[in-house]
Amino acid sequence: MTMLSLSSSPHHHNRRDTGQVMRIVCYATIPGILANIWFFGFGILIQIALAIITALVTEGVIMELRQKKTERVLKDYSAVLAALLLAVSIPPLAPWWVIVIGTFFAIAIVKQLYGGLGYNMFNPAMAAYVMLLISFPIQMTSWLPPLSIAEQSHTLWDAIHTVFTGFTSTGFSVEQLKVGVDGTTMATPLDEVKTALLQGYTVTEATTRIIFDGAYGKGWLWVSLAYLLGGLFLIKNKIISWHIPGSMLASAALLSLSLFLIDGDQYASPLFHIFNGSLIIGAFFIATDPVSASTTVKGRLIFGAAIGLWVIIIRNWGGYPDAIAFAVLIMNMAVPLIDYYTQPRTYGHKNKASKDS
Amino acid sequence: MFANYDQIIERLSVNQLWDFPGGVHPPQQKSLSNKSNIEFIPLEPTYYVPVKQHIGVEGKLLVAEGDRILKGQLLTASESPFSVPVHAPTSGIVAKITRHVSAHPSGIPELSVIIDADGQDTWIELKPVPDYAKADKSELIERICDAGISGMGGAGFPTHIKTNNSKPLEFLIINGIECEPYISSDDRLMREHAWQIRQGIDILVHILKPKQVIIAVEDNKPEALETMSIACQQKTNYQVVNVPTKYPAGGEKQLVQVLTSREVPSDGLPIDVGCIMYNVATCYAIADAIVEGKPLIERVVTLTGRGLKSPKNVWARLGTPIQSLLLHGNYDASTQSSPRFIMGGPMMGFTVTSVLTPIVKISNCILVPADNELPHPEDERACIRCSACSDVCPASLLPQQLFWYSKSKELEKAEEYNLFDCIECGACAYVCPSEIPLVHYYRQAKADIRNQREEKEKSDKAKIRFEVRTARLQKEKEAREEKYRLASEARKASMNKDGGNAKDKIAAALARAKAKKEAFAKEAENAQSAENIKKKESVSELSDSFALPKTKLVAVDEDAAAKKERVAAAVAKAKAKKVAADEAKKENKEL
Ligand code: SF4
Ligand code: SF4
């Protein structure tokens, strides 16, 4: 008798696999990256390249060691995506070893040590970001001013040179690159306001400084809008659901609005918070990492909203100017609890699952 | 929480329905097979009729090898209320009664009647019910059972049991949804035999007396919708509704929810929310059974997939091996790298293990997919917790959690997450980007849990048996001890009561001792051996009387008495010597 081929139902599959999903998310970051290059130079490209290479090598070696199907695992693009998200989160001209260490940490420790894709409790990119921030605070906060107001412009070659040697091809250091046309050292808009507030200025006074364009940091607004575009594309194509970005932005906006209405001199407006720093990329690309986020519908709303709140709280009262990474990690820890208490009610049951038996 | 009767009727009258959560929209592919009329196919030389084709227990065989049988003749008798008989699909000879590959994913051989057709196809005498409207409800139900009808849409639940309902019934739901892609057997049946389906519904209405009949057809079958509407138009309480296409809208629980907003309780039946549901093909078979007197021996089967050159629907006798259906569909082996035949649809069907697998009452489709049509599954990747699966689950389960616990064999946890509410629709696995065969894991976990339960039941029974036995032994022991206690108490009591009796015994013993003392006096030299004998006697006395301490006392007295005797004997001897010596002295003096 001929052997028939046997398989278990369903025999039908929707053809979008994990690799495709991850790849599409990677593509969706392209507008944001382009905007970043336009305003802040080529540094980000070098960081991305270094991160991806490190991630693939790390993951590949670990897969070989664990005797898994290396090629198949690499093709799921999850390592590439994590590397990409870390690379766009760090200062573009940070020294090469920062991103290499960070990416290695993200893949080897945060992801693989916990058992590989699907098992990691923490968002690898954000865990690595926090590790870097704590270990290398200077390098991790050396953000450049937008090219338009930088005293020294730099080329692609300069960017490569700086990342690997610390100096541009013409010998300028990152410190020098940070100097704006007005001769003062530049910081990120969030830093700027934070420092100004500590020095007794009001928010409005702080935002009159040269790196600002109205309420927004020069360039930052456009970069955020570009990421927003990519994020909306993901929602439209059902790669991510709206719940996490929606609730995260809404809660951040609500809290900052309340504070702003109470004291507009001490607290920045919701728009300032949304479009400066990495709230947008965090909402659409980072908090939505499926592995470390909540999995139920209600849970995602709570998860997103809580991250939004943490971001505003840490930005206003915490020690760090931006807070996406901390907020995401805090909520990663809460995910098992959130998931447990937000289980949907199963068909034909009166109560939520696992509580009515 | 749920809508009441009037609200439901109001919404149905404008074809306004509810929705069920989740669901998917796989490509329909119905047009492959639904273009032409249902075809009749020539008789087979051999049929393989499994004795059991439904949920429940198998009936008792009524035929033996070598028997000549007629078409429609009973092959088994239904002995228990849960069994449904099977009938001969044609006339011929029972060639063999043996185990034959079953229409089950495992293919495990099951007892089957193998029939060689004689080509005459002669019916047994048919006994239709002349006017069902005058017939008794119980007679009709019996007829439905005798005709061998079990649910033809899904699990194959015996129809007569469902029909024997005494609870209040609001909605009789006729399921013409056929939500599985590719399958069009119900579609064609409705298009071509709407009138007979309506007859079947009329019979059910006569038996069940529902307040309202709902005939539900998915909106991808406009022709069937139309024919059913025409067939039912004179009946005011029959409502044909147009249900939006979404898989698995045809699931019993989902359809109840879509039509009435009500949910069948997890451990209950549709009747608990006032509904009973029949598949259209079952209605057709009921009409056949009552109006024509014909048992269920054939059904419509869709032959489809791009592995067949001429996909179509056919009337297939139960017991037809699928290999002959493949021939009728013009199987094109070049489309498949390795032969793969699915019984049922692409979402819930199973791959058969042999081409001799027979058509049974629930076989609605043979799907032969070309390799590029339904590609062979790839190896699963890690779950990325994307929750695509929970978004589509119609039962609002968390498939990723079920998967996690099923895979790690944390079966209790899986049950806590309501594993048994999974209807195995496959929507989750259909969307899973990591291509995890989720349903496969669930089936395995369910089977494991069932096994565990059985084991537990067995060991529980053994434990109970053991406990009962120990308890019984314990009781017997206690009873015995109690008896002894009572007996000894009785003896003590009797001893105290007639103390004289006991004193007599002691006196008798003393008297015996006295007598022995006298004997000792005679044989003082043998005192030692005499003592031994006495000891023995005292021991036997002891066991005789149970009055332990007293006997001992007696024995002690006896010992003391013996000593006295010995002393007395010695004294007597000495006295005697002295007397003799004195007399001798006297004599010597006198001499
Ligand atoms: S769809 Fe697959 S990968 Fe996504 S959560 Fe469900 S099981 Fe995991
Ligand atoms: S197979 Fe079970 S878990 Fe998966 S979607 Fe269907 S009901 Fe939900």
Higher-confidence position of B181 and A203: B181
From B367, B421, B432, residue closest to A347, measured CB to CB: B421
Choose the most confident range, by mean pLDDT, from B82-86, B124-128, B314-318.
Answer: B314-318
Residue A264 has a CB neighbour count (10 Å cut-off) of 13
Residue B573 is predicted with a pLDDT of 67
| Residue B430: CB atoms within 10 Å | 24
pLDDT the model gives residue A53: 95
The answer to whether A11 contacts B105, with C-beta atoms less than 8 Å apart, is no
- Ligand 1 contacts CB of residue B401 (under 6 A): no
* SS3 assignment, position A213: strand
| CA A47 to mean position of chain CA atoms | 14
Q: Nearest C-alpha to atom 4 of ligand 2 is from which residue?
A: B428
Tell me if A4 and B353 make a contact (CB, 8 A cut-off). Answer: yes
Is the four-CA dihedral B514, B516, B522, B528 of positive or negative sign? negative
The pLDDT value given to residue B521: 63
Are A343 and B398 within 8 A, CB to CB?
A: yes
Pair of tokens at residue B62:
């009524």
- Cβ of A326: how many Cβ atoms within 10 Å? 21
DSSP A41: -
Cβ contact B396–A347 (<8 Å): yes
Q: How far apart are CA B302 and CA B325, in angstroms?
A: 10
Mutate to test the interface with B, among A342, A347, A351, A352 (most CBs of B within 10 A): A347
pLDDT of residue A214: 66
Contact at 8 Å (CB) between B179 and B219? no
Q: Do A21 and B386 touch (CB under 8 A)?
A: yes
Give how far A238 is from chain B: nearest CA, Å: 10
Per residue in A2-23, pLDDT (tens digit) is 578 888 889 988 877 888 889 9
Ligand 1 center–CA B380 separation, angstroms: 11
Cβ within 8 Å of A, B 180-199: 181
**Interface residue B339 vs chain A (CB under 8 A):** yes
Q: For residue A305, give the amino acid letter.
A: A
Confidence of residue B549 (pLDDT cuts 50, 70, 90): very low
ipTM of predicted assembly, 2 dp: 0.83
Cα–Cα distances in Å, from B301 out to A5, B152, B406? Answer: 22, 11, 35
The answer to whether the bond into B437 is cis (omega within 30° of 0) is no
Secondary structure (DSSP) of B249-284? TTSHHHHHHHHHS----TTS-GGGGTEEEEEHHHHH
Token pair 């360039």: residue: A219
* Number of helical (H) and strand (E) elements in chain A, helices listed first: 18, 2
Within B291-426, where are the H helices?
A: 322-328, 388-392, 399-407, 411-416
Looking at residue A342, the DSSP 8-state letter turns out to be T
Q: How far is CA B205 from the centre of its chain?
A: 31
Residue A303 exposure: Cα atoms within 13 Å on the Cβ side: 35
Which of A8, A10, A291 comes nearest B384 by C-beta?
Answer: A291
Place of tokens 């944390």: B410
Q: How far is CA B298 from CA B86, B87, B327, B342, B522, in A?
A: 11, 10, 18, 19, 116
Task: Quick: pLDDT tens for B258-313.
Answer: 999 999 999 899 999 999 999 999 999 999 999 999 999 999 999 999 999 999 99
Angle at A331 between CA A326 and CA A332, to 5 degrees: 95
User: Which pLDDT tens digit goes with each residue over B180-230?
Assistant: 999 999 999 999 999 999 999 999 999 999 999 999 999 999 999 999 999
Q: Which ligand is nearest to the CA of B402?
A: 2
Model's pTM, two decimal places?
0.80
pLDDT at A64: 87
Enumerate the residues of chain B whose CB falls inside 8 A of the CB of residue A338.
Answer: none
Q: Which atom of ligand 2 is nearest to the CA of B429?
A: 4
Of A134, A78, A53, which is closest to residue A325 (Cα–Cα)? A134
B218 Cα–ligand 2 center, Å = 21
Nearest CA to ligand 2 atom 7: B422
Instruction: Tell me the best of B24, B387, B407 to mutate to test the pocket of ligand 1, counting ligand atoms within 8 Å of each CB and taking the most.
Output: B387
- pLDDT given for residue B155 in this prediction: 72
* Residue of chain B whose alpha carbon sits nearest to that of A16: B433
B434 close contact with A: CB closer than 8 A: yes
> What proportion of chain B, given as a percentage, has pLDDT over 90?
61
Distance of CA B472 to the CA centre of its chain: 31
Contact between residue B272 and residue B245 where contact means Cβ atoms under 8 Å apart? no
Q: How far is the CA of A13 from the centre of ligand 1 (A)?
A: 13
Predicted confidence at residue A207, as pLDDT, reads 74
Residue-by-residue DSSP string for B128-156: --S-GGGS-HHHHHHHHHHTT-B-SSSS-
Does residue A306 or residue B478 have the better pLDDT? A306
Q: How far is it, in rounded angstroms, from Cα B387 to Cα A328?
A: 19
pLDDT-derived band at A220 (thresholds 50, 70, 90) equals confident
Residue of B338, B387, B398 lying closest to A290 (CB–CB): B387
Instruction: Write out pLDDT tens, residues B470-503.
Output: 888 888 888 888 888 888 888 777 766 555 565 5
DSSP secondary structure of A195-228: HHHHTT--HHHHTTSTTEETTEETTHHHHHHHHH
Cβ of B389 less than 6 Å from ligand 1: yes
Ligand 1 pocket test: pick from B407, B436, B438 the residue with the most ligand atoms within 8 Å of its Cβ.
B436
CA A21 to ligand 1 center in whole angstroms: 12
Chain B residues in contact with A119 by the CB 8 A cut-off are: 382
Express each pLDDT in B403-412 by its tens digit.
Answer: 999 999 999 9
User: Pairing mode, if any, of strands B68-69 and B92-100?
Assistant: antiparallel
Is residue B238 lining ligand 1, measured as CB closer than 6 Å?
no
Residue whose CA is at the smallest distance from ligand 1 atom 8? B383
Rounded-to-integer distance, Cα B564 and Cα B404, Å: 97
Residue B44 has a pLDDT of 93
Regarding the beta carbon of B439 and ligand 1, being less than 6 Å apart is answered: no
The minimum-distance atom of ligand 2 relative to the CA of B427 is 5
| CA distance linking residue B139 with residue A216, whole number of Å | 83
Longest Cα pair distance anywhere in chain B, in angstroms? Answer: 167
* Structural contact between residues A286 and A231, judged by C-beta atoms closer than 8 angstroms: no
Q: What is the mean pLDDT of residues A140-151?
A: 74
Q: Which of residues 235-254 of B touch A (CB under 8 A)?
A: 253
In this complex, is the C-beta atom of B338 within 8 Å of any C-beta atom belonging to chain A? yes
User: Touching check for B513 and chain A: CB below 8 Å?
Assistant: no
Yes or no: say if A249 and A274 are a contact pair by the CB < 8 Å rule.
yes
Q: Is the CB of B287 under 6 A from ligand 1?
A: no
From the CB of B428, is ligand 2 less than 6 Å away?
Answer: yes
Instruction: Kindly list the residues from chain A whose CB atom is less than 8 angstroms away from the CB atom of residue B401.
Output: 295, 339
| Record: contact B440-A347, CB cut-off 8 A | no
Q: Does the distance separating the beta carbons of B430 and A12 come in below 8 Å? A: yes
Does B429 sit in the ligand 1 pocket, CB within 6 Å?
no
Nearest CA in chain A to B396: A346
**Partner-chain residue, chosen from B181, B253, B353, that has the shortest CB–CB distance to A12:** B181
Is B429 within 8 Å of A13 when comparing Cβ atoms?
A: yes
Assess contact for B313 and B68: CB atoms under 8 A.
no
Q: How many CB atoms lie within 10 A of CB B376?
A: 13
Q: What's the rounded Cα separation, in Å, for the pair A261 and A275?
A: 19
- Which atom of ligand 2 is least distant from the CA of B389? 5
Please name the residue whose Cα sits nearest to atom 3 of ligand 2.
B399
- The answer to whether the beta carbons of residues B170 and B5 sit under 8 Å apart is yes
- Residue B448 at interface with chain A, using a CB cutoff of 8 Å: no
Nearest to A14 among B340, B398, B431 (CB): B431
Name the closest ligand to CA B435: 1
- CB-nearest partner of A347 from B263, B401, B433: B263
CA of B386 to the centre of ligand 1 (A): 5
**Residue B438 alpha carbon to ligand 2 centre in Å:** 8
Of A165-169, A226-230, B137-141, B545-549, give the lowest mean pLDDT range: B545-549
